[in-house]
Every structure is written in structure tokens, then in C-alpha cells.
Amino acid sequence: MKYTPLIGLEVHVELKTTSKMFCSCSADYFGKEPNSYTCPVCLGLPGALPVANKQAIDWCIMIGLALNCKINLYSKFDRKNYFYPDLAKGYQISQYDQPFGENGYIILSNGKKIGIRRVHMEEDTGKLSHENYVSHPEFASGSPIQQDKVTFIDFNRSGVPLVEIVTEADFDNAADVKEYLQKLQQIVRYLKVSDADMEKGEMRLEPNISLQNEDELKNNKFPKYKVEVKNINSFRFVEKAIAYELKRQEDILEIGELPAQETRGWNDNKQITFSQRSKEEAHDYRYFPEPDIPPFRFTEGGIEAIRTSMPELPQAKLERFLNAYALPHYDAEILTRDTVIANYFEEEVTEGKKNNISPKQIANTIINKKIDVANAKPTDVIKIIQQSATVTVDEDKLRTTIKEVFLENQKAVEDYKSGKETVIMFLVGQVMRKLAVKADASLIKKRLEMELKV
């Protein structure tokens, strides 16, 4: 039997707003003293009322727009009910049938279109850490229950704005998944709504994977099961988890059985996925509209204002770099990876123009010399090019060229001699043009000064 992989992705991205989603606690919780950034709202105390964070909603809509989604002009929050200590309320405020954005897409470099089913807003949960009782310094050793496992809860993360981005099951291989994730990460970073640092848990990845058999493929039917791998925090692990799952599921199908519909985790040490729990269906969560937050109505004009405030996106910048600077695709891709390198490149291009240095030379230097753009000073790259490009100009040729330029520009020469020294740059330009090689402009300038002082 031949099987076709069906892979979809759920990605959670934490927004870097100043405050949390429904209260005024700081959202900058990473590495802070546990339970120090909390209040009755994000601790889920009875009677506490949530107030939605406008900045977070604007940013969620912005992500939706960047992913070509339709933005719902009527939207609302819903309660997703479940019992687990990471959310003390017993439910997560999320969105069910009216997410802020739906039906978008991302196009991969091979032309494949990946459908975005929805982009919705929700709140992050508290963080549980499972530890051995005796291993924790806060507990005195010698306790009669020292062998027991304990779980610590830190509510600092509880209520941090979280955007969930769900794709259609449009992937059939791990390489495309990786490219999609890189593009998504790049987009939220360009928008400056999240740093999407996976080591800090700011971007968390959940692939859902199943195999379609030939019959299902022919009849355009989904497989009878789906496996979701939870909370992966690196692109490499996603690739490995997908490869592992495809093999595992194929082995089960080959002996005539059906893989269990379940949620699995990824164990990086053993490089395997492992069963965590049977997968919930939407109806298990008993979704219902959040009664404490009124629904939202947006206007076309309001959405357009958000669209207008968006910076240039990676794809548009890439195309502009290809066209405006005549760069090869390889260069343009590297130079648009993030806005720090893109902005530095463009500043140097402006400087380069004054010095007869082409965008391609600047691109080459930044890429080949591995310039640390975050710490490089303006014109650093220009200087490197000028120094390395010092073509030793033939002395006779230089002397005759200078003579010619002086003859053809007597007015400029007189101006210089009568004290208008800025005119020297014009003469340098004339000499460079006649030499038609990448000579060092500063050397020619010195030489001209010498000649003019005679």
C-alpha cells in the first residue's frame, strides 16, 4: 500500500505587548520570580473581570492581514473549558466560531499554497514544572515523602497574549513544513509583534500528522485518525518528529491496524514521540461565548488603518531588492532575512551611490565578509570595499588622466584654488569616471590635493 502524508500545523505565538491579554500585569514574564506578575484576573480568582487588550487584538488582526486572511468584522471571545491546573479558572478565553482572521494562505518558494484556516486570539496558560520532591532546595531533606514527585505552578505566563495560527492539512513533507515555519517566524518578527524566540517558548509548534491510503486519496477522504504532536520548540525537532511519526504510522497501517487518535509528545533525548493522552474533540471543550467580554464590531476603515500601519513584509521586500538593486535571488534572500540586515544594506547602498559603489558590491561584502550588521557602524562596508578595491592605477595613466580632467574643468580648478575646497569631490568623480576602474577614491583625492597645491 502507498500512503500520502497529510500534515497540518498549529502554531502558538506570544505577543510582546506591555501588559497581559485581560489584565494590566506585565507580559514580560520570562525569567522573573515565579508568581510575581499576577493579579486576581490572571490567577483566575472568582469574580475577577477580564478587560481585553486592544494592542494585542490589533496585532492579531495584523498577523491575519499579513497571512492574507479575511478579517471578520464581527468577532468575539469564547470559553474553552477544560480541567487542568495550568489555568486556574477552569477554562481558557479563546475564540471558537468567529476568530479575528480566517481563510488566508502563505506561498512557499516552490509555489505551493498553504491554506491558513484561522488566526485567533487567546491567553497563555501558567507554567507547570514537574520535579522530584527531594531535588528541590526549598524542601528540607529527610521528609517522609521525599521520594514523591511534586508539581510547581508559576502563573506569571498565565494571561499573556497568544495568537494561534492553524493551517489546513496542506503539507505532505517535513521540508515544506520547515519553510512555512521560517516564513511565519519572519513575518511576525517583521511586524514587530513577537520575537518568536523558540527557546523562550514564544513560538510553539504542533504538527498534526496522518497517512492517507490509496482509497482515501482517490475518494478525497480524510484518514480515520489524526495524531497531534504537542509543544515542539525547534524547527529541527518538528522535522524529526514528522519523520518519526510517518514511519511509525506506516508500520501500524502495514499490519492492518489503525493508529490511535491521540496527542503525543516529542522526546528529544530518545528522538521519538510518545503517547500523552487521547486527543480531545472540539465538543469536549464545551465552548460557549465569553459572557464577561462583549463581542467586537470592526469597520472596513478600521481594518484598513491597521493594514496601512503595517511595515513592508518579507516577500515584498525580497521582490523590491531583486528589482531595485538587481541582486541575485540568493543575495536578496539573505539580505531580507531580517530587517536589521535589510536596513543596514539599504543605508550602505545610499552611501555607496556617493562613492560609485554598486549595490551588488555591497551585498557581496556583507555576505562574504560575514559583516556583523547589528554592531557595524554606518559606512563600515563602504570602507572595506574601498580598501579592498584599491586597484593600483598605472602611474602614467593616472598622471595623464588628472591632466585631462584639469584641462576640461578649469573653472572647477580655479574655484578650488580660490578656496572653494568642496569642489574637489567633483574632480575626484571625473578622474574615477575616466579611469573606469574601481580605484580608491580617498587616494585619488589626496593625489589631487597635492597636484592642486602646486
Q: Which is nearer to Zn ion, 23 or 169 (CB)?
A: 23
Q: Which is nearer to Mn ion, 90 or 311 (CB)?
A: 90
Q: Are 281 and 296 in contact (CB under 8 A)?
A: no
Q: Which is nearer to Mn ion, 21 or 335 (CB)?
A: 21
Under the criterion CB under 5 A, does residue 39 sit at the interface with Zn ion? yes
Q: Which is nearer to Mn ion, 16 or 118 (CB)?
A: 118
Provide the minimum distance between the beta carbon of 93 and Zn ion in the complex, in angstroms, as a whole number. 13
CA distances from 327 to 3, 118, 238, 286, 288 (A): 41, 35, 32, 54, 53
Single residue of 14, 164, 228, 348 touching Mn ion by CB under 5 A? 164
Q: Which is nearer to Zn ion, 25 or 121 (CB)?
A: 25
In the list Zn ion, Mn ion, none, the entry touching 23 (Cβ below 5 to 8 angstroms by class) is Zn ion
Q: Please list the alpha-helical segments (H only) found in 326-394.
A: 329-335, 339-354, 359-368, 380-388
Query: Apex CA 179: angle with CA 176 and CA 182, to 5°?
Result: 150
Provide the minimum distance between the beta carbon of 20 and Zn ion in the complex, in angstroms, as a whole number. 5
Which one of the spans 37-45, 61-69, 111-119, 134-142 is the region binding Zn ion (CB under 5 A)?
A: 37-45
Q: Which is nearer to Zn ion, 19 or 95 (CB)?
A: 19
In the list Mn ion, Zn ion, none, the entry touching 164 (Cβ below 5 to 8 angstroms by class) is Mn ion
Which one of the spans 127-135, 156-164, 251-259, 353-361 is the region binding Mn ion (CB under 5 A)?
A: 156-164
Which one of the spans 25-33, 157-165, 212-220, 247-255 is the region binding Mn ion (CB under 5 A)?
A: 157-165
Provide the minimum distance between the beta carbon of 164 and Mn ion in the complex, in angstroms, as a whole number. 4
| Binding to Zn ion, residues 134-173 (CB under 5 A) | none
Q: Which is nearer to Mn ion, 88 or 313 (CB)?
A: 88
Q: What is the DSSP string of 118-184?
A: EEEEEEPPPEEEEEEGGG-TTS-TT-TTTTSEEEEEEGGGTT-EEEEEEE-S-B-SHHHHHHHHHHH
78: nearest Cα among 304, 323, 333, 295: 295
* CB-nearest residue to Mn ion: 164
Query: Apex CA 386: angle with CA 337 and CA 373, to 5°?
Result: 25
Give the chain's length: 454
For residue 359, what is the DSSP state? H
End-to-end CA distance of the chain: 90
Q: Is the Cα torsion angle 239, 244, 245, 247 positive or negative in sign?
A: positive
Return the number of other C-beta atoms located less than 10 Å from residue 371's C-beta: 19
Single residue of 21, 23, 93, 382 touching Zn ion by CB under 5 A? 23
How many CA atoms, within 13 angstroms, populate the side-chain half-sphere of residue 422? 0
Cα 338 to Cα 349: distance, rounded to the nearest angstrom = 17
In the list Zn ion, Mn ion, none, the entry touching 184 (Cβ below 5 to 8 angstroms by class) is none
| Binding to Zn ion, residues 258-317 (CB under 5 A) | none
Cα 75 to Cα 65: distance, rounded to the nearest angstrom = 15
Under the criterion CB under 5 A, does residue 25 sit at the interface with Zn ion? yes
In the list Mn ion, Zn ion, none, the entry touching 39 (Cβ below 5 to 8 angstroms by class) is Zn ion
Residues forming the site for Zn ion (CB under 5 A): 23, 25, 39, 41-42
Q: What is the binding site for Mn ion (CB under 5 A)?
A: 164
